[in-house]
Chain A
């Protein structure tokens, strides 16, 4: 479908030569090896775990904006719902973490089905506005419903025992669990994007009427992509609730929806792992600048403006473009 693309940066990567491929595989393994070894190297694991949760969130969001061209401005609703549902399942019902995460994923999927069904009937700014409006409704429910704890949030969520055996209160065990879910989630998204289904999504993004004329049921594809994105977002939210042991209103506000847009744009829309880098940068800044005594939102805003003005493809997008030349 790459013939349809006019922006070279967004075209799928061409088939690589054997030697180069080996070199790059080595790099991937180095990246994974770093994540595996990080806690042993004295890296503070809790920061890395939260970072991975948001990276997964941004990657799921990127599936919509990068490959279907849908800008959802209400993705925090799915993230927050995942966090609340997983947190509640783990805390009030005493579910094991894997079941709690599954509950988070299903809640994200279910909510995504409803919101998506309504929102994909419109395009462009109207689509974004509908997602924003519906996410505000979800926020209102989270604010009012007794089980979310209102503005206190859901506190002291137990991490529990994985499969009833492995105690996740152990930071290293938790880290391994988060890493596995994170890599599985990113790999699943990468597989989806590079499958025939992903090609159809890109075709819809590039030229919707032509896709319809080719016989594709565009609405159905959009809805499936929306639900997939929401499911992974729900997982990311649930994982975050287990890592930080809280689910709060911050997870579900429109500011969080905005933040994930920022992460994705900063890293590079429509690049497989741009959102991961974007999430890494935003979260690292928020964490590290916290003790500088300088207003963090101002700095992040400035970085965003600089990004939009100077490198519009995002960091990964620009590098890829530069390497192609």
Chain B
């Protein structure tokens, strides 16, 4: 009984602590934006606190104020745990008066917060997650998907590469749903474009040794080795492919989910020749350079599409609030879908009724170390993939919203 009593008392104290910060705030206060992403795990470089910095840049561009209200930014590390993410999202929407949650790297997290936003009738704009379900069967009137999705990646890397002559493929596929989906979508695009898939091999999630898979890929004599995986698996596979001399041997490596951050992490020596699709590259035109350099000044690194996309999405949200004349989610969502997206990162973007922001993507190739003239000079732009081709139309997406 003594133990029971004590423990209850202490448990009570801990619970009280847990709740201290959860005091309610008036919903009519400042415009509050929440950036929720992975800041300590495998995606910390993919988005991480750099995305928070990008959101700050968008807010500063607005002078920290919209409609005479202060713009506040909160951020949190979801540690790749959907439970934590959904708790934080609920608390933000319910108790802390957050009006929009952005970034949301990790598709389980994005889908969870997407559903919460629908329930609470609040805005969420995903920039960090890939799942095209967000604007497909899981679409909702208050949810938006900004930067990229699995559809754009497969069309971009698959289709554009076939056009560029890479017409025979061999896949290294992560042995789970994301890998299958990516391989299936990309294969369909390749065949439609007149290419051929010579074979594929499945590797377990988080593989350290890719040698046997890479040897099969090498033996297939396919012109392109497609990596239908993500994160550590992609970088490991690329590193080992460099050791096997796959790219120097004439085969191309196509990273289906590969960004500037991974290129930086690997270094040009290992990453050279890898082909990838991104919605933003800093050294592409004057505007993109302007944003890239401003970002570099603050963080000492160049942004990838997720970070640049977070800037664009926060800016678009604030513009929509301004245009709507209030932060009422219905009015803001309508404006987001109505206004074209034009900023330093995105040109002539258009938001579909399902929340998908459609804009041009770029097929990029990592440069050889000798061709890189300055720091972060990593990519050569191979071609532009028009937004209409890169993203699914409303009818194709399977979203019932009109």
Contact = CB atoms under 8 A, between A and B. Distances in A.
A248 B14 contact: no
Contacts of A240: 83
A290 B88 contact: yes
Given A24-B1, A43-B15, A250-B81, 5 more contacts: A50-B83, A155-B108, A245-B112, A295-B39, A296-B79
Given A43-B19, A284-B17, A13 B2 contact: yes
Nearest to A259: B81
Nearest to B78: A290
B84 to A, nearest CB: 6
Interface in A24-40: 24-25, 27-28, 30-32, 34-35, 38
A99 interface: no
Interface string B38-67: 011000000001000000000000000000
A323 B7 CA distance: 13
Interface string A243-259: 01110111100000000
Contact of A284 (B18, B81, B107): B18
Given A150-B178, A156-B115, A24 B4 contact: yes
Nearest to A293: B49
A221 B94 CA distance: 47
15 contacts: A23-B5, A27-B8, A42-B23, A43-B22, A51-B18, A150-B176, A151-B108, A248-B83, A251-B83, A273-B6, A286-B79, A286-B81, A296-B77, A297-B40, A316-B7
B10 A287 contact: no
B76 interface: yes
Contact of B82 (A24, A28, A246, A297): A246
Nearest to B138: A155
Dominant secondary structure of chain B at its interface with chain A: helix
Contacts of B6: 27, 273, 316, 319-320, 323
A152 B107 contact: yes
Contact of A320 (B3, B76, B133, B175): B3
B88 A287 contact: yes
Interface in A289-325: 289-291, 293, 295-298, 315-316, 319-320, 323
Given A13-B3, A150-B178, A151-B176, A293 B77 contact: yes
Nearest to A298: B40
A58 to B, nearest CB: 11
Interface stretch (A101-109, A211-219, A275-283): A275-283
Contact of B86 (A42, A43, A244): A244
Given A43-B19, A272-B7, A35 B12 contact: yes
A153 B22 contact: no
Contact of A44 (B2, B10, B91): B91
Contacts of A151: 107-108, 176-178
A248 B82 contact: yes
A65 interface: no
Interface of B: 1-12, 14-19, 21-24, 39-40, 49, 74-84, 86-88, 90-91, 94-95, 107-108, 111-112, 115-116, 131, 133, 138, 175-178, 205
Contacts of B74: 291
A13 B1 contact: yes
Nearest to A156: B115
A47 interface: yes
Contact of A150 (B9, B90, B177): B177
A277 to B, nearest CB: 5
Nearest to A155: B111
Contacts of A44: 19, 22, 91, 94-95
A38 B19 contact: yes
B9 A30 contact: yes
A30 B15 contact: no
A291 B75 contact: yes
Interface in A164-220: 190
Given A51-B15, A150-B178, A295-B39, A246 B112 contact: yes
Contacts of B15: 34-35, 38, 43, 48, 51, 280
Given A28-B8, A31-B11, A246-B83, A283 B3 contact: no
A192 B388 CA distance: 64
Interface string A39-57: 0011110111011000100
Nearest to A271: B3
A238 interface: no
Contact of B115 (A155, A286, A293, A320): A155
A276 B7 contact: yes
A128 to B, nearest CB: 22
Interface residues of A, number: 69
A277 B13 CA distance: 9
A296 B40 contact: yes
B112 A155 contact: yes
Contacts of A284: 14, 17-18
Contacts of A143: 176, 205
B1 A31 contact: no
A286 B84 contact: yes
A213 B9 CA distance: 41
A153 B75 CA distance: 24
Contact of A246 (B17, B86, B177): B86
A249 B111 CA distance: 14
A288 B79 CA distance: 12
A31 B7 CA distance: 9
Nearest to B112: A246
Contacts of B14: 277, 280-281, 284
Contacts of A23: 5
A271 B243 CA distance: 54
A28 B74 CA distance: 37
B87 A280 contact: no
Contact of A34 (B12, B75, B84): B12
Given A35-B15, A150-B177, A290 B84 contact: yes
A248 B136 CA distance: 20
Contacts of B7: 271-274, 276-277, 316
A301 B80 CA distance: 17
Nearest to B19: A43
A16 interface: yes
A272 B18 CA distance: 21
